[in-house]
Structure 1
Amino acid sequence: MDGSGDSVVLEAVTRHYGSGDGRVTALDGVTVRFGHGTFTAVMGPSGSGKSTLLQCAAGLDRPTSGRVVVAGQDLGRLSERKLTALRRDRIGFVFQAFNLMPSLTAEQNVALPLRLAGRRPDRHTVRQGLAAVGLGERARHRPAELSGGQQQRVAIARALVTRPAVLFADEPTGALDAGTSREVLHLLRTLVDRHAQTLVMVTHDPAAAAHADRVLFLADGRVRDELTDPDAGGVAARMLRLEASC
């Protein structure tokens, strides 16, 4: 598996926690690839390994065995310093909690990853990022002056400011109402379709997963099923079948 044309490749990835009788297998020999410019949703029952898969794929956690390649870089061969630099420059993160700095404006929040990397933010680039998520007129507003959906849009703009090879989203609509969730998911879909952004999203919501190109279903640390061109009804049916078999 050379990973050519893929933004992320996991090859026979296993992750154990603990030892002896208390050892827990969070991932059990997972092999999967995420192609450039694709949108993949990851679903599964609680404890299925979704979060661990995301953390290993994003370089936040090192697998017990197996191989993870992101943007052509084998993460297992990188020092902690180089791994930190790769996460900062080539990987974007969006979480359920927006994690914005309350004392900073939207513009300053978006520019923060560049400042932390020791790079002087280009104001035009930052403003472009906010405009791309529909917040060009809210650059000087602080998080408390924005709705939940607008705050998540700022978080997405912040994640994209370094032009990452892949964007990982962990329940990005979990704190939003149904209407706002649809707006954010439409934005994520647009990033994939218009800008060839690679996107991997963990979700529990079949309606959210239906925005993806494919859905991976995990159970007991293994990929148990896959659905391409999903719709919400098909995703919900697969989840019911998966949960019944666990």
Structure 2
Amino acid sequence: MWSVSKVYGSGAQSVTALNNMTTSFRAGTFTAVMGPSGSGKSTLLHCAAGLDRPTSGKILVGDVDLSTLDETQLTLLRRDRIGFVFQSFNLVSALTAEQNVALPGRLAGKAPSREQVNAALAEVGLARRGGHRPSELSGGEQQRVAVARALISRPAAVFADEPTGALDTKTSRDVLALLRNIVDRHQQTVIMVTHDPSAAAYADRVLLMADGRVTDELYGPFTAESIATAMANRQEQPC
């Protein structure tokens, strides 16, 4: 991302969500994005993933400049090169875990093989649960299905928006450890928005945001306590 701004509305009613922001995400690393409500962290994720267009600036996914793509091309890029994991899982209730993992490929006319689907589910610890529907799975298992769905195409990056927000503490740790393991084993790039220092501690780097800008960068290894302290110190600094 280079000099990216995102403004909603116009005139006196306009809101600047991203303010001339420049940052990058190195391949094969795990980045957590943190900040108070309204700091721009979700807008950052949406623009970087091609879900929303910035008002100005440049965003690259690999060597592709998103500003040069029309809506159809953006859709294809998100399908082929971007993975998503959301707080609410976003699984289709009528489909089994296997069918949910395979669904994006099927819709794109590139249905994965049964072996690929089984391997993706095994990767997230659900080798024996592929025939179960979401209602037959725990919250943590549903989120693991969502992770498998995001990873099956081996995307350039996975964007996770509060992926543990609907999970209890133990299940959250399991999902975060899974993401950490996937980064380490497969050099997968993961960018995660979170409000939780305990979740951010699984990352290699933490971006702290305020008022649409990155105000600090932390590099691991670190603990939840060290992240919380850095956030508190940042908030106490005068504007």
Normalising by structure 1, report the TM-score. Answer: 0.95
Q: CA deviation at 1:119?
A: 1.5
Equivalent residue, structure 1, for 2:6: 15
SS of 2:24's equivalent in the other structure is strand
SS at match of 1:61: coil
Q: CA shift at 1:188, angstroms?
A: 0.1
Letter of the aligned partner of 1:239 in structure 2?
Answer: M
Per the TM alignment, residue 234 of structure 1 is displaced from its structure 2 partner at its CA by 1.0
Question: How is 1:51-90 mapped onto 2 (pairs within 5 angstroms)?
Answer: 51-90=42-81
Task: Give 5+ residue unaligned stretches, structure 1.
Answer: 1-9
Normalized per residue, the structure richer in strand is: 1
Aligned counterparts, 1:101-140, within 5 A: 101-140=92-131
**The 10-residue stretch of structure 1 (73-82 or 40-49) with the greater mean CA deviation from structure 2:** 73-82
Which amino acid counterpart does residue 50 of structure 1 have in structure 2?
A: K
CA distance in 1, matches of 2:26, 2:160: 16
Residue in 1 aligned with 2:201? 210
**Is 2:212 aligned against 1:232?**
no
The CA distance in 1 between the partners of 2:160 and 2:146, in whole Å, is 11
- Aligned-partner residue type, residue 119 of structure 1: K
Corresponding residue to 2:137 among 140, 146, 153 = 146
Amino acid of the structure 1 residue aligned with 2:63: G
- Cα distance in structure 2, aligned partners of 1:23 and 1:225: 26
- Picking from 161, 166, 173, the partner of 2:164 is 173
Indicate the residue corresponding to 2:87 in structure 1. Answer: 96
* Structure 1 letter corresponding to 2:107: L
| Counterpart check, 1:191 vs 2:178 | no
Give 3-state SS (helix, strand or coil) of 1:168's partner.
strand
1:17-49 CA-partner distances (Å, limit 9, x unpaired): 111111110000110010010000000000000
Deviations along 1:53-96, one digit per CA (max 9) or x if unpaired, are 00000000111110000122100011111111000000000000
Task: Tell me, in whole angstroms, the C-alpha distance in 1 between the residues paired with 2:163 and 2:20.
Answer: 27
> Please, which runs of 5 or more residues in structure 2 have no aligned partner?
none
How many residue pairs match? The answer is 237
Distance in structure 2 (CA, Å) of the matches to 1:208 and 1:111 = 28
> TM-score when scaled to structure 2?
0.97
Residue identity over aligned pairs, in percent, reads 65
What displacement does 1:172 show? 0.3
SS of 2:191's equivalent in the other structure is strand
Q: Which amino acid aligns with 2:97?
A: A
Residue 241 of structure 1 deviates from its aligned partner by 2.1
SS in 2 for 1:140: coil
Alpha-carbon distance in 2 for matches of 1:206, 1:172:
13
- Once superposed, which parts of structure 1, at least 4 consecutive aligned residues long, lie more than 4 Å away? none
